[in-house]
Amino acid sequence: MAATRVCFVCLGNICRSPTAEAIMEHRLGFEEIGVHVEVESAGTGSWHAGHPPDERARDEATRRGIPMGGTARQFEAADFARFDLVMAMDADNAAVLRSLAPDDAARAKVHLLREFDPDAHGDLDVPDPYFGGQEGFADVFDMVDRSVIALIGHIATPRD
């Protein structure tokens, strides 16, 4: 069986999407889901390309025992051919991704990560913690963690 390839996407690829990538990789290490999952992250913007994740995001991950590495990069239209699921952190980034998509099949790969959050209650955006304090990073971590757990269940569920 081929791998399921997932790319998490936020604005700059230094806060939310690398958090999701790190959590997903960590959680997959404990799951026997019967499929192989490849995980990456990217941003819709280019200004942080080449930078490591935000120190506050790394601090929150470290506090929770999850390694976080990587280097920011910008999502490109060609990435649609590489990924099965493109998980946007908010509606604005989802709209940018859909505008980059070369066709309807590529657009159909774009989802909001919090579509999988059982506590979302209609609010499907993961807020950008960049301009706030550490508490915002902790809140984002919790939202993303819940969403990733449910996303793993979704990937693991056999489909017709």
Which of 54, 79, 117, 128 is catalytic? The answer is 128
**Known catalytic membership, residue 142:** no
Which of 10, 54, 79, 114 is catalytic? The answer is 10
Closest CA to 130 of 16, 8, 9: 16
Which of 16, 27, 58, 146 is catalytic? The answer is 16
Q: Distance (Å, rounded) from C-alpha 139 to C-alpha 142?
A: 5
**Known catalytic membership, residue 128:** yes
- Sorted by sequence, the CB contacts under 8 Å of residue 130 that are 6+ apart come out as 12, 14, 15, 54
**Known catalytic membership, residue 98:** no
Spatial contact of 57 and 19, defined as CB atoms under 8 Å apart: yes
Catalytic residues: 10, 16, 128
